[in-house]
Structures are given as C-alpha cells and as structure tokens.
Amino acid sequence: MEYTNLEKVNLKLSKLAIGTMSMPDDFNEAQNMIDFAFEKGINLLDTADLYEKGKIEALMGKALKGRRDDFLIASKVGNVWNSDGVSWHWDPSPKQIRKGLEMSLKRLKTDRIDIYQLHGGTLEDPWDDIFSTFEDLKSEGKIRAYGVSSIRPNVVRIVSKNSNASTIMSQYSPLDRRPEESIFQMATEAGIKILARGVYAKGFLINKIPKPYLTYTEAEVESTQKLINSFEYSGEAMLIGFSLAQLAIGSLVIGASSLAQLKSTCKGFQESKKIPAGLISDLQSKLPVNFYDSHR
C-alpha cells in the first residue's frame, strides 16, 4: 500500500480506502472485508450517518471491535432523516453537527472520528459557524481532522479559502473529469487532499450494463467502458491509475459490496503501479472532458 499524509493534522491515509455505502448487510462478509483490507494495508474507511439510517456505521462499530486503532474512520453529517423514513433534509447547523457526531460516535463505538465531513454544502450555509464548530470539536479531541464532501466548485472555493479543512470528497473518473477544471487546483493550493469517490462510476466503467451517467448517454458509457477494458491491464487497474495520476487526490474511496469486489480492487491497485505514465496520458487524450454548468 502507499500512503498520503494529511499535513495539517499529520494523519497517514492509505491511497486506497473502503467506501462503505454499499457494504453487505451480512456481518461475516463485512468482517472478512475489514480483515482483508487490513492485510493489504488499507487504513481508511469512509462512511456516513445517512447510509442505511446509521446501520452501516453500527456495522463498522461492530466489525472494528477490539481493533479500532487499526483504521481511520471518516464519517459525515448534515443530512437528517425525516419522519416519513424515506426522505431527508439538509441541516448543517452547529447544533446538528454536534448532535450527529454524538450519535455517530455511539454507533461506531468509539470516542473519536478521524475525518469528519460535512455531507454537502450550499453557498447559503453558515460557514463561519460550521468551521468554528469543527475546530472546537478538534480541540475537544472528538475529531482529528475535518473536511467537506462536495462536487460544487463554489463550495470548494469557500472551504479552501476560509477554513483549515484537510479533505474535500469529490467525484472523479473518466466519466466525470469536472474537478480537473478548478477543484484540484483550489484544494492543492490550500493544502487539502481530495478523497475521490465514484472512481468506477458505480461499476459502469468495469462491467456493469451501461446506463446513462451524468450527461453521457448509454452508448457513450458503453464506449468508455470498452475503451477502459481495451488495454492490457484490468479495468480496475486502469481506473485506479487514471485517478491517482491526479496529484491532488490523496485517497480513492472505492465502494465494494462483496469481498470478491474488494479483492479485485486491491489486485487492480497493485497492477496499476506497473502502468506506464504514457498509457494513462494516452487514455486521458482519448476521453472527453466535461465541465460544471452550475454552482461554479
């Protein structure tokens, strides 16, 4: 495994992280995934209070019993379930951040979250209060670093300019190159590392039956999937190599719903190290570039 240092807080993150949004319900399978990840040097798990209404955090808490210090936990706050049980609303207030944190700590059976992320953000949010709440929580030892999960350049601009955040979670893959325009640069200049999600475009770039993705049609997704799989390296390796070629990216948060998927990803990570830089440039040059048309 290779690691990135979050300089502001001196935390060493593995370049490959497990995204837990699609973790299996089956506890034994989840436990086997955690064990396998540890063997391979993965030390970062990304979760959120939103996922399965807290059930994924609880699953992580159970799976990490007795080995909490083997992993860094990144979780998220700001989305609150409504009483209908099917929808949620946005609440980034300091009160909700503190309340959400206490609930996450209980479910995760821990006394700290290593990277606490605001799970979204808009220009209208009370940013000064949000940042000072995260700073206070750091001083209290309840979180070690904080960040924001946002694909909006205008939100990333606020975070980069006005906070001491360590991470931004953003989406990046051959089908979503929008962060190349300004997000990567803003983060780098502010000493912030990108946690990249959507690296496989939910599996559409590996072997899933193509469906429309962002502004791309089914046929365009299919031809990108074929392109990724046309090289002598596996699709996983090409996608990992493509993303890690961006120096702004600190860690790839890749989702897996089974141990088999996690194994393929870890194999792809090792294989990606052998891909010549020229081949990634070749892939980049064959792909379309897309741009944000709102929230710029």
200 in contact with ligand NAP (CB under 6 A): yes
100 in contact with ligand NAP (CB under 6 A): no
* Region of residue 230 (left: phi > 0; alpha: psi -120 to 50; beta: else): alpha
Q: How far is the CB of 95 from ligand NAP (least distance, A)?
A: 21
Could you confirm whether 51 is annotated as catalytic?
A: yes
Residue 46 to residue 254: CA distance in whole angstroms: 9
Contact 172, 245 (CB under 8 A): no
Q: How far is the CB of 225 from ligand NAP (least distance, A)?
A: 11
Q: How far apart are the first and last CA of the chain?
A: 35
Residue 23 to residue 152: CA distance in whole angstroms: 26
x/- string (CB under 6 A) for ligand NAP, residues 10-29?
A: ---------xxxx-------
73 in contact with ligand NAP (CB under 6 A): no
Window 232-291: residues binding ligand NAP (CB under 6 A): 236, 253-257, 261, 264-265
Whose CA is closest to 194, among 226, 230, 232, 150? 150
152 in contact with ligand NAP (CB under 6 A): no
CB neighbour list of residue 214: distance below 8 Å, 6 or more residues apart: 175, 176, 290
Residue 72, SS3 per DSSP: strand
160 in contact with ligand NAP (CB under 6 A): no
The one catalytic residue in 51, 116, 146, 233 is 51
Residues annotated as catalytic (active site), given as ranges: 51
Residues that bind ligand NAP (CB under 6 A): 19-22, 46, 76, 119, 149, 169, 197-203, 206-207, 236, 253-257, 261, 264-265
